[in-house]
Amino acid sequence: MNILLLALNAKYIHSSLALRSIKAYCEEYINSIELLETTINNNENEIIKEIYKVSPDVLGISCYIWNMSFIKILIPTLKKILPQMTIILGGPEVSYQSQELLTILNVDFIMEGEGEETWQEYLDYRFKNHKSLSEIDGLVYKQGTVINKNRARTPLNLEYLPFVYDNLTGLEHKIIYYEASRGCPFNCQYCLSSIQSGVRFVPVDRVKEHLHYFCDNRVKQVKFVDRTFNANKKYALALWHYIIAHDNGYTNFHFEIAAELIDEEMITLLKGARKGLIQFEIGVQSTNPKVLATIKRKMPYEEISKIVLQIKALANIHQHLDLIAGLPFEDYTSFKNSFNDVIALRPEQFQLGFLKVLKGSGLRKNAAAYGLVYKQEPPYEILYTDALSYNEILRLHSIEEMLERYYNSERFKTSLEYLFTCFESPFSFFEALALYWEQKGYDLIQHNKMSYTLKLCEFCLTCSQINPELIKEFLRFDYLKHEHLKEIPTELQTLDSSSYKEADNSLLKNDDFINIRAPHLIALSTRQRHKITHIEHFKYHLYKAYTTGIYEEVAVLKEPCSILFDYASQNTKCILLS
C-alpha cells in the first residue's frame, strides 16, 4: 500500500497545510502516506519523474485555481505511464461542477469539501473493505459510464483536527500555515467561504499548545489561514494575549481580520505587542457603498479607516490592505476613489488584486446579471465588466505593477510622499508613471534596484510640476536609506560631492564628533567607520521632511542639510549633521 499526496504550490516558500492535515488525520495509514511538494514553476517532466519513482497505488492531488491548468496537463501522461494508479482530486477547484469534471478528466475520484474524513473512509474502503463507495460522503466517482455523487460531507468538528507540525524538517525556509477556525461570519459573494454558514473553532487551549510549540522552535512566521480571525472576540483576545505574553522576540504571526470588529479592548491589548510580532491583512475590497452592498460585504469605510489609523498609531503592527478591481458597479472613477482612500491610510503593504470569478461563488452564479466577463480557465480572472472596460483593466494591471515596485517595496517612501503632492492624487501619479513605462517599453524588460530608481528619476524629469533637483535628492536619500552606496550615479547628483570629501573624512576621524553623534562607533577605527557609514550632502532639508512628513515646505525652501547614514545595524540610521 503506497499513497502519494501531491501539492503543486504557487511558490517555493509556500507549503500545503491541507495535505498535511489529511495525512495526520489518517493516522492509521500515516506510514504509508508520502507527501510530494513542488511548484507550478518546476519542469513538467521532473514532476512526472518524481511521481513515477514512487509509483503509488493511490495519487491524491490538491487542486486550486493557481495549479489546475498544470494538473490537467499532468493527468494524461500519468495515466499512460502508471495505468493502474488510482488518481483522486480534491480541493476548492474541484469541489464544484465535479461531475462535469469527471466526464472531462481521466481520474477515478473527486472528493468535494473537507477531505480529512473522506480520505480516512476511502482508505478504509480500499484497504480494509470497510463500507462501500456509496456510503462515503463527499465522494464523486465513475462506475462504468455512470457518474455517482454521494451526499455532501458534514463539516468536521475541529476538536478532532490534528496538529500537523510535529516535525518541521524541510520547512525551515517556508511559510508555516496554521488553522484555528474554519468558516466565515460574512457572506462576500466573491469568496467560497460564504457558501457554508457559521464558524468552527479549534479549542483555544489546543491552539495555545501549538503556539507554544512554534515559539519554542523559533518558527520565523506563522500565517493563520482563518478567513476572519477576530470573528469571535473572546477567542481572538485569548490568543493575542497568549502570543504577546509568550513572545520569543523572533516569531511573527499573520492574521486576516475584519477591521470593523476591532474595538477598544482589542486596541488596548495590541498596544503591548512587540513591534514585528503581529501583522494584519484587511480586505477593504472597495470603498464604494453600492459595490459593497452588491457583494454583500457592507462595511462603513469611515469606521474601517478609523480602526486602521488607530492600529497604525500603535506603531507596532504591520498592516496589509487589499482592494479588488473588477467588482460589480465599480467603474474606473470609482476604483480610483477606492485606491486613493486606501493609500491615504499609508498601509505598509497595499495589494491591488483582480477579481477571480470562482466556481461556486455568488458572483459566478450572477455573472451575466452583473456583466462580468472572465477567463474561461483558472484562475478565472476578470476581463471586463459592464462598468470597467478591458482597456481599463489593462491600465490597472500596469498601475498594480508600479504600486508593487515602488510603494510595496518600501524603498521610495520619501520620494513618493513628495511626488504625491505634485499630482492630483496618488492614483494619478501611478497612472502617469505606468503609462510612461509602457511607452518606453520598460514593462518588457527586467530591472535591478538602481534601475528602478533611475527610471523613476527619468520619468520625473518629464513632468514640469516636479522640482528636478528636489526629486533627485529624495531619490538619493531613499536609495542611501537602504543601500550603502559610495558612488552616486551622475543622474542623481545635485552638487559636487568631491568638495566635501576632505571635511567628511575629518569628521569620521574626530572621536569627539563620533562620541556625540554616533557613540556606538567610537571603538571602531577610522577605516571601519568609513566601511559602515556614508555622509551625504543635500541642497534641501530632506531630513526635516523625513522626520516631520511635511513635504510642501521642503519643496519651496532651499535649506541645505548633511546626513550621516549609519549601516551598523540592519535598519539604517539617519543622523542629521547640519
- Per-residue pLDDT tens over the stretch 63-104: 999 999 999 999 999 999 999 999 999 999 999 999 999 999
Q: Are 216 and 330 contained in the same domain?
A: yes
Pairwise CA distance, residues 113 & 120, whole Å: 14
Beta-carbon contacts of 333 under 8 Å, excluding residues fewer than 6 positions away, are none
Q: Are 376 and 505 contained in the same domain?
A: no
Asked whether residue 553 carries a pLDDT value surpassing 80, the answer given is no
197: cell is 454558514
Half-sphere exposure (CA, 13 Å, Cβ side) for 258? 20
Pairwise CA distance, residues 263 & 303, whole Å: 11
Asked whether residue 48 carries a pLDDT value surpassing 90, the answer given is yes
Handedness of CA 163, 119, 96, 160 (dihedral sign): negative
Pairwise CA distance, residues 314 & 174, whole Å: 29
What pLDDT band is residue 352 in, cutting at 50, 70 and 90? Answer: very high
Nearest by Cα to 478 from 447, 504, 501, 456? 456
Q: Are 363 and 505 contained in the same domain?
A: no
pLDDT value, residue 544: 87
Q: Are 530 and 509 in contact (CB under 8 A)?
A: no
Q: Are 237 and 298 contained in the same domain?
A: yes
Amino acid type, 358: L
Q: Assign residue 51 the CATH number of its domain.
A: 3.40.50.280
Asked whether residue 552 carries a pLDDT value surpassing 80, the answer given is no
Q: Are 434 and 402 in contact (CB under 8 A)?
A: yes
Q: Is position 159 within any domain? A: no
- Give all strands (DSSP E) within 376-416, no chain letters: 382-384
Q: Are 539 and 564 in contact (CB under 8 A)?
A: no
Q: Is position 406 within any domain? A: no
Q: Are 118 and 224 contained in the same domain?
A: no
Q: Are 155 and 95 in contact (CB under 8 A)?
A: no
pLDDT value, residue 503: 87
From the CB of residue 45, how many other CB atoms can be counted at a distance below 10 Å? 9
What's the whole-number mean pLDDT along residues 514-541? 90
Enclosing domain of residue 521: 481-576
pLDDT value, residue 348: 97
DSSP 3-state of 180: coil
Pairwise CA distance, residues 500 & 514, whole Å: 18
Task: State how beta strands 382-384 and 373-374 pair.
Answer: antiparallel
| Helical residues (DSSP H) of 90-223, grouped into ranges | 98-104, 116-128, 204-216
Q: Are 101 and 184 contained in the same domain?
A: no
Amino acid type, 174: K
Grid look-up 507596532 returns 316
Beta-carbon contacts of 504 under 8 Å, excluding residues fewer than 6 positions away, are 535
The torsion angles phi and psi of 69, rounded to 5 degrees, stand at: -65, -40
Asked whether residue 499 carries a pLDDT value surpassing 90, the answer given is no
Q: Is position 428 within any domain? A: no
pLDDT value, residue 198: 86
From the CB of residue 1, how many other CB atoms can be counted at a distance below 10 Å? 12
Q: Is position 520 within any domain? A: yes
Q: Are 541 and 560 in contact (CB under 8 A)?
A: yes
What pLDDT band is residue 417 in, cutting at 50, 70 and 90? Answer: very high
Boundary (domain end) residue, out of 388, 415, 448: 388
H or E element in which residue 129 lies: none
Q: Are 234 and 366 contained in the same domain?
A: yes
pLDDT value, residue 354: 98
Quick one: angle between helices 413-422 and 426-440, nearest 10?
Answer: 100
Q: Is position 195 within any domain? A: yes
Boundary (domain end) residue, out of 388, 406, 428: 388
Q: Are 180 and 224 in contact (CB under 8 A)?
A: yes
Q: What is the DSSP string of 503-536?
A: HHHHHHH-HHHHHHH-GGGTTS-HHHHHHHEEEE
H or E element in which residue 77 lies: helix 68-81
Q: Are 561 and 540 in contact (CB under 8 A)?
A: yes
Asked whether residue 333 carries a pLDDT value surpassing 70, the answer given is yes
Chain centre to alpha carbon of residue 106: 34
249-274 per-position pLDDT tens digit? 999 999 999 999 999 999 999 999 99
Q: Is position 161 within any domain? A: no
Percent of the chain with pLDDT over 70: 99
Pairwise CA distance, residues 445 & 46, whole Å: 28
Pairwise CA distance, residues 13 & 529, whole Å: 37
Q: Are 139 and 242 contained in the same domain?
A: no
pLDDT value, residue 570: 85
Q: Are 12 and 54 contained in the same domain?
A: yes
pLDDT value, residue 309: 97
Q: CA-based Rg of the chain, rounded to a whole angstrom?
A: 28
Q: Are 35 and 125 contained in the same domain?
A: yes
Q: Is position 464 within any domain? A: no
* Partners of 8 in the β-ladder: 38
Q: Are 291 and 197 contained in the same domain?
A: yes
Q: Assign residue 220 the CATH number of its domain.
A: 3.80.30.20
From the CB of residue 299, how many other CB atoms can be counted at a distance below 10 Å? 19
pLDDT value, residue 194: 65
Q: Are 26 and 127 contained in the same domain?
A: yes
Whether the pTM exceeds 0.85: the reply is: yes
Distance of CA 258 to CAs 59, 276, 303, 304, 356, Å? 38, 20, 11, 9, 20
Boundary (domain end) residue, out of 388, 408, 439: 388
DSSP 3-state of 219: coil
Of the listed ranges 6-10, 222-226, 408-412, 500-504, the one predicted with least confidence: 500-504
Q: Is position 462 within any domain? A: no
pLDDT value, residue 133: 94
Quote the number of domains for the chain: 3
Pairwise CA distance, residues 503 & 496, whole Å: 13
pLDDT value, residue 578: 80
